Amino acid sequence: MTSEARAENEWLEELVRELRRQAARESGPDLARIVGWLGRRIRAEVALVDEAGAVELATPGFPQGLTESLEEPLGRLSRGQVATAATEAGALRVRCEALGAEVPRPVLVVVVPETLTSRAAGLVTYAGSLIAVLRRVRVDAGLANAYQHKAAQVRVAVFMALMAGDPTLARRLTSGAVPALLEAQRVRVLLLRCPPDDRDRHIRTYQDLSGYHGRGLMLRCPVYDDHLICLTPDAPTSRLVDGLRHLIRDNAHYTLGGSSPQPLAATAQAYHEARHALAVARNTPGRIADYRGPAPLEHLLPREPAEAWARSYLRPLRPVPALTIDITRLAVTFPRVGVARLLGIGRNSVTAHLKRVEAALGIRLDDVGSRATLALALAITSLYADSGTPHSPPSLEKLLRTQAATTWARTLLAPIDDPGHQKLYRTLTTWIQADTDTQRTAGLLGISRNTVTAHLRTAERLLNRDLLSTRSGIHDLVYALRITTSPDESS
């Protein structure tokens, strides 16, 4: 083998190695690296001209303004009229090659002081083919990323429609490609807590060609960066459920909380159950927990008196815009920054809407008791359509002294209602009185802040309620303590 042939083989081997490197790049192809390599190997200045005739990238010494003088041959190459062209620019030799098959085509322009040898010209062709392939990969990757982004948006929209109790709207949002999940009678919500950067990888592992996940649905939580939301039909097992449990086994810093089976229209209740279970899972050895606990208080109160009280309490909000009410429904459970992210508005806008509500009702939403009262009223009105039937509203205290409410409160607090948990019980009551401020609680009790937090974590596990991470169980605790400590409880 001649030295020239050996050199050509070495160049081709370098191109193959470069292709492997490019294929392994997570950030996409690096075309400048190949253009620079080609220029060094054949001692030329090289430029890649895009489909519009602009220089996309070039070696440092490529003559400025050269492509303007080549407008006519570059146009013919881009339109697919010819595949290659050779010309001169003063003392320079110029070789142009069209890349790819689709028109308009990009063009590789090579400038050398002397005519290219046949081996150098062959290397230009090889390198140009590699650039064409990698540009196609880059375009396809861009399309794939755009598809994944749109698929993720659809999944969030479907989930939010289910959270609003509207499976019909969820089906319409799928544009006719209805996922199997929306045909299920009952569903479960599973919440996986994992590092934010892991979520997309898990979503794509189980994603099918339709953008869903077989009979399930997975999406990044739009509020909490470390939550992955999974919806699945109620079934003893599934590939998705088994896969999530294996993730817990293989990753010591993952936790998983699951809801009880709920009707599709009650996805919101299933989601809140999963949040409670996730808090419990954080404090259990296996890091997996399913929801255990009584039904929400609003489901147990007598309908007509509860509805009458709730609508009477919320009557001052009638002049308030519907958007303000929607934001308030979210803000009594989610942090304000989460509501802003969920709705795509500024945090200051969320605060402005909430100030309207505070002014109308004469309350402060940083007061945990007021927030719990508002949350209960909103939950009741969400549960029942306005019948328009007049009913004398009872006081909230009378509503909470019903047998159903009393039984609910005792059931919720039963795990800590014994002499062995007196310190824990006292911490909880003081924490609520201190508007859930752990530092104030520690000062009132004469213990450290870390001890208060430890007590709260124990309470999460015993009560099956989330008190610290998303605080969605605080309102339940407020009412349970209020009901069981009422002096008129037995009346």
> Are residue 284 and residue 348 in the same domain, yes or no?
no
- For residue 373, CA distances in Å to 197, 313, 417 come to 37, 9, 24
Same structural domain, 427 and 450? yes
Q: At residue 5, does pLDDT exceed 80?
A: no
Mention every residue, 6+ apart, whose C-beta is less than 8 A from residue 28. Answer: 137, 138, 141
Query: Is the same domain home to 195 and 285?
Result: yes
pLDDT at 193: 95
Higher pLDDT, 179 or 349: 349
Q: Which of 270, 290, 310 is the last residue of a domain?
A: 290
| Domain CATH number, residue 410 | 1.10.10.2840
Is the pLDDT assigned to residue 487 strictly greater than 60?
no
Contacts of 349 (CB under 8 A, 6+ apart): 340
Are 28 and 121 found together in one domain?
Answer: yes
Tokens 């592992």, located at residue: 205
> Burial level of 3, CB count in 10 A (0-12/13-18/19+)?
exposed
d(Cα 444, Cα 74) in Å, to the nearest integer?
80
The β-bridge relationship of strands 186-193 and 262-263 is antiparallel
CATH no. for residue 32?
3.30.450.30
pLDDT in tens, 128-163: 888 888 888 887 777 777 878 888 888 899 999 999
Residue 12 near residue 126 (C-beta atoms within 8 A): yes
Structure tokens at 301: 């109160």
Return the pLDDT at 208: 84
Write out pLDDT tens, residues 48-69. 999 999 999 999 999 988 999 9
Inside any domain, residue 380: yes
Does 231 lie in the same domain as 130? no
| pLDDT tens by residue, 210-254 | 888 888 899 999 889 999 999 999 876 778 888 899 999 999 999
- So what's the pLDDT on residue 214? 85
pLDDT at 141: 75
- CATH code of the domain containing 276: 3.30.70.270
Q: How confident is the model at residue 385 (pLDDT cuts 50, 70, 90)?
A: low
CA distance 269 to 285: 26
In a domain, 154, yes or no: no
Q: How many domains is the chain partitioned into structurally? A: 4
Between CA 302 and CA 304 the distance in angstroms is: 6
Residue 208 and residue 228 share a domain: yes
Tell me: do 7 and 129 sit in the same domain. Answer: yes
Same domain, 175 and 263: yes
**pLDDT exceeds 80 at position 386:** no
Q: Which of 376, 399, 422 is the last residue of a domain?
A: 399
The DSSP symbol for 191 reads E
Residue 98 lies in a domain: yes
Average pLDDT over residues 470-482: 88
In a domain, 487, yes or no: yes
- Co-location of 382 and 301 in the same domain: yes
Judge if 27 and 121 occupy the same domain.
yes
Whole-number average pLDDT of the chain: 88
pTM for the model stands at 0.76
Same domain assignment for residues 57 and 16: yes
- pLDDT for the residue numbered 3: 62
Q: Which residue has the tokens 């909230």?
A: 396
Q: Which residue has the higher pLDDT, 19 or 58?
A: 58
The more confident residue out of 208 and 431 is: 431
Strand partners, 95: 86, 110
d(CA 380, CA 297): 9
pLDDT at residue 8, rounded to an integer: 63
Is 50 exceeded by the pLDDT of residue 491? no
- Among 234, 267, 290, where does a domain finish? 290
Alpha-carbon span 131 to 281, nearest angstrom: 50
- Confidence (pLDDT) at 364: 94
In angstroms, rounded to a whole number, what is the distance separating the alpha carbons of residues 175 and 491? 55
| pLDDT of residue 201 exceeding 70 | yes
What is the domain extent for residue 431?
Answer: 401-491
Residues of the chain with pLDDT > 70, as a percent, come to 94
Six-digit token string for 308 = 């009458």
* pLDDT at residue 388, rounded to an integer: 62
Read off the tokens for 253. 């810093």
**Does residue 43 lie in a domain region?**
yes
What is the pLDDT confidence band of residue 77, given thresholds at 50, 70 and 90?
Answer: very high
Q: Residue 158 falls within a domain, yes or no?
A: no
Is residue 148 one of the residues assigned to a domain? no
Q: Which residues contact 157 (CB under 8 A, 6 or more apart)?
A: 173
Measured N-to-C along each axis, helices 267-282 and 118-163 cross at an angle, to the nearest 10 degrees, of 110
147 found inside a domain: no
Task: Categorise residue 233: left if φ over 0, alpha if ψ from -120 to 50, beta otherwise.
Answer: beta
What would the mean pLDDT of 22-26 be, rounded to a whole number?
A: 71
123 and 237 co-located in one domain: no
User: Confidence class of residue 485 from pLDDT cuts 50, 70 and 90?
Assistant: confident
Reduced to 3 states (helix: H, G, I; strand: E, B; else coil), residue 288 is strand
Identity (one letter) of the amino acid at 312?
S
